[in-house]
Copies of this chain bind each other. A is one copy, B any other.
Amino acid sequence: MSPTRSTRTEPEKSTGAATAASRHPVSRRRLVGAAGAAGAAGLLAGGASGAAAAEALRDAPPAPLTSIGANGVPFHGPHQAGITTPLQAAGHFAAFDLAPGAGRKEAAALLKRWSATARELSEGKAAASGTGSALDAGPASLTVTFGFGRTFFDRTGLAARRPAGLAPLPAFSADALDARRSDGDLWLQIGADDALVAFDALRTLQRRAGDAAVLRWQMSGFNRTPGATDRPRTARNLMGQVDGTNNPRPEDPDFDGHVFVPADAGQEWLAGGSYAVFRRIRMLLDTWDHLSRERQERVIGRRRSDGAPLSGGEETTPVDMNKQLADGSLAIAGDAHVRVAAPESNGGATMLRRSFSYHDGYLDTGDGPVPDAGLLFVAWQADPLKGFVPVQRKLDRGDGLSRFLRHEASGLFAVPGGAREGEYVGQRLLEG
């Protein structure tokens, strides 16, 4: 089919996670985000950081319902919002290309407009040019994160300052990439705990692009609604699997080293920034759902019910890669996803995965409709060559899960450090 799909040029669709208390707007933030952006937290009541924040998250009592709208995530800080922010219920991704004739000056003006708009919206102020659909709601943990694609540097005459990390990703055998839905000069990640707030932000930012940039592609995704589960930190994906258990955590001593570009890496505008790898990964759910739960679990290496590794323990128990079953076989199969993706299988390579699920109706395969659904995969890392690239190379060769996946779109973006008060995102590049 599906008629549902046929009129669309771009994918779509949307809805995930929070904590806070009382009705004082923005008096408390969700603490994982707070931990990651502690220095930024002008709005953060306490100075919680690192391990303390993570602990607080686990033990925090459920917050009242109205905090979902009142929660705000600071726009300014050493890192952009939306990287360590807890997953939101609704997300949009959009790429823009600079318009013909637009260069560095127009890009700078655009980033200035966009930053001002993103700040306003993340404080719950309705933009003058807004749609009105966010009225009545608070900021609902809105974040907007901006990234620059490889081509951005050519278009702005800044090719000499293009960071090494933006080298094109290698081709992988499982790729079936659609160039029209890949790459782009500029990349936006929008997340909020309310779908109308997220829509308003997307539309307002698109309109404020004015004549400077043209939408290239746009996709929408979702995660759990805050409060729909007591599970504290990990998400579920559309395969039904707990997703994100092995993510680096803000309280890990080497968290920043894995996720954020260090200040001494040579490009001041990128200090405190990150690289985002974005992939639209369609899940072949019709095939997957026909496997028994036991076979699904062997493919992943974890129990579906609670995410515990098949080597024993509970979700957060370290995976014992050598554990043998009574018959001498490995508890974690040689091609289990959890083994092939593990840092210890990849020379310590790791990344912060922070994805949204998507569901864009159904595709007509000629053999009946199959869900056009899966993961809008987002991975954050200080260096793609020490994060996504080695892990995906390994997965591409040896992951039992890969036959249930199709990578349909891809992008790699350099994400500047957070804007300081009075600054816009990317200013140190564009005016530096």
Contact = CB atoms under 8 A, between A and B. Distances in A.
Interface of A: 1-4, 6-19, 23, 62-69, 89-90, 130-138, 140, 178, 180-181, 193-197, 199, 203, 207, 214-220, 222-231, 236-241, 285, 289, 293, 304-305, 357, 359-364, 368-369, 371-373, 409
23 contacts: A3-B216, A4-B181, A8-B372, A12-B359, A15-B65, A15-B90, A17-B65, A65-B67, A65-B68, A69-B227, A69-B229, A90-B225, A131-B239, A131-B240, A131-B285, A132-B304, A137-B228, A195-B224, A196-B224, A196-B238, A199-B359, A207-B289, A220-B361
B373 A199 contact: yes
Contact of A8 (B195, B203, B230, B361): B361
Nearest to A129: B289
Given A132-B304, A195-B224, 16 more contacts: A2-B218, A3-B409, A9-B363, A10-B369, A12-B359, A14-B359, A15-B65, A64-B227, A67-B227, A68-B225, A69-B229, A69-B230, A89-B195, A133-B239, A199-B359, A199-B373
B368 A14 contact: no
Given A131-B239, A136-B231, A289-B207, A12 B361 contact: yes
Shortest beta-carbon contacts, A-B, top 10? A132-B240, A15-B195, A65-B227, A10-B361, A12-B361, A3-B180, A194-B228, A68-B227, A195-B222, A69-B228
B133 A238 contact: yes
Instruction: Identify the interface centre among A23, A69, A409: most chain B CB within 10 Å of its CB.
Output: A69
Contacts of A15: 65-66, 89-90, 194-195, 222, 225
A231 B207 CA distance: 27
A274 B361 CA distance: 27
Given A69-B229, A138-B228, A362 B215 contact: yes
Nearest to A18: B65
A132 B203 contact: no
A33 to B, nearest CB: 16
A214 B363 contact: no
A165 B373 CA distance: 36
Given A90-B222, A229-B136, A285 B203 contact: yes
Nearest to A226: B65
Q: Most chain-B Cβ atoms within 10 A of its Cβ — which of A4, A6, A62, A218?
A: A4
A91 to B, nearest CB: 10
Nearest to A217: B3
A194 B224 contact: yes
